[in-house]
Amino acid sequence: MTADPTRRDFLAAGLAAGALAGAAGAGGLGAQDSAVTGSGAGGAATTTPAAPSVRHSVCRWCYGGIQLDDLCAIAKRCGAQSIELLSEGDWPAVQRHGLACAVANGPCSIQKGINRVENHDAIVKEAERLLPLVGQAGIPNMIIFSGNRAGISDAEGLENCAAALRRIVPAADAANVTVIMELLNSKVDHKDYQCDRTPWGVELCKQVDSPRFRLLYDIYHMQIMEGDVIRTIKSSAPYIAHYHTGGVPGRNEIGVTQELYYPAIARAIVATGYAGFIGQEFIPRHDPETSLRQAIELCSGEA
């Protein structure tokens, strides 16, 4: 089951053509967007990436027009160590390339999640099937979603999500996998999504009361919903198991022309003692390899 049908539908509608056109053309990043030097002819890197202070992952769905084997090669040239948001059929491909998968796709969709009791049995059953496989593959995290409100209050949604997660965490614990719920904005991209603010997600972690359930803090989404990113990262760090990036506005490159300053954000993440991956989840408008290299260097976490 795919983690995010909306994302995949977007790709099918034209991302592939745009990304590949940028790679084939002369464009690359413009002077205003670029913070580092890009790739040379044919997409080959002109320099060897410096060893980052944090580990980097690449969200597969952002590069749907690129074959997975080719994306693995690009990721390695840029200094990434993981391709994430993969279903079980894709795990062997990244392993062949010596890469990790930081986050496995999970048992439900963004819209139809665990905030409705009538969804619980099917989702729990699929989670219990997936989690042993995720653990055997050495994948540290599996994604899950609250689902849309569809008339359910935040208090009721919180109670329902906690009930489902209490049923799932024993299997997660046995598999040595952390189940992570993504914080998404309900203002622009995912209308009516329930887990759309950090305090709600933190309270859910407290109610589940298991180290096998944590949050995926998506920096792009939470900038749209609540801002105050660095202070929130610092105060909520014990409840965060993974991070995603994205430029605001537009969810494109995370260069120096949009409102989030990722070097400072990455330093704040490193300062919390975080030892996981930062997942690059922006939609490239320019040459994908150049954009990914830029993003990884911006998020190095170096002083």
Which CATH number goes with the domain that contains 94? 3.20.20.150
Query: Does residue 25 belong to any structural domain of this protein?
Result: no
- Write out the residue range of the structural domain in which residue 114 sits: 5-11+52-298
> Which range (28-37, 85-94, 185-194, 228-237) has the least confidence?
28-37
Query: Does residue 146 belong to any structural domain of this protein?
Result: yes
Structure confidence by residue, pLDDT tens digits, 269-285: 999 999 999 999 999 99
Give mean pLDDT, residues 125-135. 98
CB under 8 Å, gap of 24 or more: what pairs does 69-73 form? 69/93, 69/97, 72/96, 72/97, 72/99, 73/97
CA pair distance 130, 195, nearest whole angstrom: 23
Closest CA to 77 of 100, 45, 52: 45
- Give the tokens for residue 128: 């219990």
Strand partners, 148: 193
Determine the 3-state secondary structure of 119 from DSSP. helix
- Give the tokens for residue 226: 């609540």
Query: Does residue 30 belong to any structural domain of this protein?
Result: no
Structure confidence by residue, pLDDT tens digits, 139-159: 999 999 999 999 999 999 999
Query: Does residue 264 belong to any structural domain of this protein?
Result: yes
In this model, does residue 10 exceed pLDDT 50?
no
Which residues does 2 contact at the CB level (< 8 Å), separation at least 6? Answer: 8, 87, 105, 109
Structure confidence by residue, pLDDT tens digits, 225-250: 999 999 999 999 999 999 999 999 99
Task: Please confirm whether the linkage preceding 249 is cis (ω < 30° from 0).
Answer: yes
pLDDT score of 302: 77
Kindly provide the b/e burial profile for residues 51-78, where b requires at least 16 CB atoms within 10 angstroms of the residue's own CB: ebebbbbbbbbbbbbbebeebbbbbbbb
Q: What mean pLDDT value characterizes the chain?
A: 87
In this model, does residue 165 exceed pLDDT 50?
yes
Q: At what angle do helices 154-175 and 120-136 cross, to 10 degrees?
A: 30
In this model, does residue 48 exceed pLDDT 60?
no
Query: Does residue 137 belong to any structural domain of this protein?
Result: yes
Query: Does residue 140 belong to any structural domain of this protein?
Result: yes
Query: Does residue 24 belong to any structural domain of this protein?
Result: no
CA pair distance 59, 83, nearest whole angstrom: 6
How many Å is the maximal CA-CA distance in the chain?
A: 55
Band the pLDDT of 56: cuts 50, 70, 90. Answer: very high
Query: Does residue 43 belong to any structural domain of this protein?
Result: no
Q: What domain count does the chain have? A: 1
Report the predicted TM-score, pTM, of the whole model to 2 decimal places.
Answer: 0.84
